[in-house]
Amino acid sequence: MLSLSEKNNQIASDLYKKYEVKQGLRDENGKGVVAGLTTISTVYPEKVVNGEVVPGVGELRYRGIAIDELVDGFVLEERFGFEETAYLLLFGELPTEKELAEFQQLISSNRTLPTNFVRDVVMKASSADIMNSLSRSVLTLASYDECADDVSLENVLNQSLMLISVFPLLAIYAYHAYNHYNKEESMYIHLPKLEDNLSTAETLLMMLRPDRQYTKQEAQTLDMALILHMEHGGGNNSTFTTRVVTSSGTDTYSTIAAALGSLKGPKHGGANIKVTQMMADLKANITDYSDEAAVHQYLEDLLDKKAFDKKGLIYGMGHAIYSDNDPRAAIFKRYVSKLAEEKGEEARAEYELYTLIERLAPEIIGSKRKMFKGVSANIDFFSGFVYNLLGLPEELYTPIFAIARIVGWSAHRMEELINSKKIIRPAYQEVTEDREYTKMSDR
């Protein structure tokens, strides 16, 4: 039966050109098909000044503000930025000092789950797949909400703020349950305390670690990772999923569960895990990280399908939109460097290996592949390394992404509810020849 399914579902590649269908809803240079309008964020493959393209400068803007300017704003004043950025994306304006304090308190006070929820839901049927555990918890929370199906803006906003608040708990507790029941390790359930007034990054590290301890640099680096993963234009797969499902009129819990299913995919939120696995394979084959010739050969072997998973890819390199520069990676790299410095000699050596690959890979890819645009390191290239330095288990890499991106999903869900009057329903061109029904006796 499988062979029949494969045979009868094949579509000749030339038909996509014939009918001018853009696979993946984007053209050869990565530019996506425009499917809607948004005020929330914008991704530019390059910067344009006075009509001229500035080479090597991609842009990401949150509510019209360049991400580097936004980051510099709270970094210079030595603030954590997750809550401030979340406020901006959700409400469209930067908060005043008073508004930010109230919003931080609102998020903190919402970091609580229904009575016995951790025991009865999170700890039951524990699994290494924390993303599936997250989806299950989100859908179960609907059973505790008397207004689960109410899609009024006020109710959806309240639901969104609650989910943004509890996502760290759902992910960390799900991991601890898995670590205990499946790996027979000790289990720690640390409850966030409102009076501690912790940022989201601090809360994550506190709940994860047995001793609840973390350094300021660790918290700042994780805070930056969350901010840079929080939103990335309406066209990324999970956000588009959010808008498609929202347009059907369904509830918040079903919508976010669908977005989680999208983000889980290795081509989307799971990409940083592939980088980590690739780097582990590289380190198993190369003992001297400073041996540029050996690293160069390994990267060539990756593209020639001779190394790692033999897929012909250097993971963490290139992006669907950006060409010569992913602005998120450029910002994040500064924090990677500082964290590696704090962690010691081994971490610094590994950081140098990453920067060597960052320099070599675009040149090697350009020599071996037909390129329609430039290629550079994306944020996934560094995030797995950072999570490893922070002691985050691999099972939490994609859930950390979800803890950040639910802010963007919530903002897009609100925007879709406010502006959309129609269910999103694209068309597919049929390429099957008509045929007559065959009677059973004649088959």
| Burial (0-12, 13-18, 19+ Cβ within 10 Å), 295 | buried
For 173-260, strand residue ranges (E) read none
For position 231, what pLDDT does the model report? 96
CA distance 244 to 249: 10
* pLDDT, the chain, mean: 91
Chain-centroid distance, C-alpha 433: 41
Give first-to-last CA distance, the chain, whole Å: 16
For position 20, what pLDDT does the model report? 84
Q: What share of the chain is helix, strand, coil (3-state, %, to 5)?
A: 60, 5, 40
Span 204-257, pLDDT tens digits: 999 999 999 999 999 999 999 999 999 998 789 999 999 999 999 999 999 999
CA distance 151 to 153: 6
For position 193, what pLDDT does the model report? 87
Query: pLDDT band at 322, cuts 50/70/90?
Result: low
**237 forms bridges with which residues in the sheet?**
none
pTM for the whole structure: 0.92
The answer, yes or no, to whether residue 317 has pLDDT greater than 90, is no
Report the percent of the chain where pLDDT is more than 70.
Answer: 94
Of 25 and 126, the structure prediction assigns the larger pLDDT to 126
Task: Count Cβ atoms below 10 Å from residue 125 Cβ, excluding itself.
Answer: 11
For position 330, what pLDDT does the model report? 86
Q: Exposure pattern of 390-418 as b/e (b: 16+ CB <10 Å)?
A: bebeebbbbbbbbbbbbbbbbbbbbbbbe
The answer, yes or no, to whether residue 372 has pLDDT greater than 80, is no
Query: pLDDT band at 323, cuts 50/70/90?
Result: low
The answer, yes or no, to whether residue 134 has pLDDT greater than 60, is yes
Mean pLDDT of 295-311: 95
Mean pLDDT of 69-73: 95
